[in-house]
Structure 1
Amino acid sequence: MEKEFTTSSPDETITRGKEFVATLDIGDIVCLQGDLGAGKTHFVKGMAEGLGIDSNDVSSPTFTLINEYHGDQLLYHFDCYRMESPREALEIGAEEYFFGDGITVIEWPERIESLLPPEAIWISIEAPDKNTRKFVIRKRES
């Protein structure tokens, strides 16, 4: 299964994140791939809004690795950019979040890919120009 869409502003990216999270269930894992500045955190802000979380509370958890947001449902927000190996994720208890009571979204998931279940949803984000973002949503083959 693969779906594509494009956005032309940060606000539209947030709106699409809000729409997308409405299709998810507790326990779902969403992996966001894209270069720095591609729009990953804006998409997460939209997901948070869709779960009743103030998007102003959402920031990239680059230095804390995991942020936990409480709203109508829990949102676990990982940023694996600074991780050197999947072992680091295990040491902070990542697997407990993956199978916890919320929705998990992971930036830079390729750094811990060996830990992720095959049913994870992968979203690649490309920035063909300053304002446009192209999103491709797919499930990886097991």
Structure 2
Amino acid sequence: MEYLSRSEADTQEIAQSLAPTLPTGTVLAYRGDLGMGKTAFTRGLALGLGYTGRVTSPTFNIVNEYLGTIPLFHFDLYRLPDSDALFDIGWGDYLERDGICAVEWSERAEDLLPSHTLWVTINRHPDDENWRTITVEGGSDT
């Protein structure tokens, strides 16, 4: 699916509407440059999963947990030295906790992502640099 976002609020609304359709165990791997709206997308996911608190990028923590109706585990792998370091923070345990995993800078651990990963790509729109195109693809084990 492809979406057009004209603002941070649009990005959040797109993710908020997507969230209730995601089964537990879903992994969303974000692709997109700095400032494209990956954290805004995660804010929308958290809202759609019943979490009403503050959502921030876990750049220094590596992972933030948001406990709504369904838990959301928000990873930021930007500072991770390699994919093996993801195991040090309990990656396997998070995958088994019946929640949703949202992974910023996912390309740093692409080899550890399950085959059913949903890829969320956020890019500048070619006609207006203030707009974003959000593409969501994948998600099946086939």
**TM-score of the aligned structures, taking structure 2 as reference length:** 0.92
Mapped partners of 1:37, 1:125: distance in 2: 10
Measured after TM superposition, the shift of residue 52 of structure 1 is 1.2
Alignment of 1:30-109 (within 5 A): 30-54=28-52, 56-109=53-106
Amino acid at match of 2:137: R
Q: Which 4+ residue blocks in structure 1 deviate beyond 2 angstroms?
A: 128-131
Q: Which runs of 5+ in 2 are unaligned?
A: none
* DSSP 3-state at the match of 2:51: coil
- State the Cα deviation string for residues 90-115 of structure 1 (Å, max 9, x = none): 11111211222211110011101111
Structure-1 separation of matches of 2:42 and 2:129:
19
Query: What SS does structure 1 have at the residue aligned with 2:81?
Result: coil
* Alpha-carbon distance, 1:28 to partner: 0.6
1:113 aligns with 2:110: yes
Aligned residue number for residue 132 of structure 1:
131
Structure 1 runs not aligned, ≥5 long: none
Q: In the aligned structure 1, how far is the partner of 2:136 from the partner of 2:47?
A: 20
Quote the Cα distance in structure 1 between the aligned partners of 2:11 and 2:31.
15
Residues in 1 aligned to 2:137 and 2:89: alpha-carbon distance in whole angstroms: 27
CA distance in 1, matches of 2:62, 2:118: 20
Count of matched residue positions in the alignment of Structure 1 and Structure 2:
139
Question: Normalised by the size of structure 1, how large is the TM-score?
Answer: 0.92
The code of the aligned residue for 1:46 comes to: G
Give the Å deviation of 1:130. Answer: 4.2
What SS class does the counterpart of residue 62 from structure 1 fall into? coil
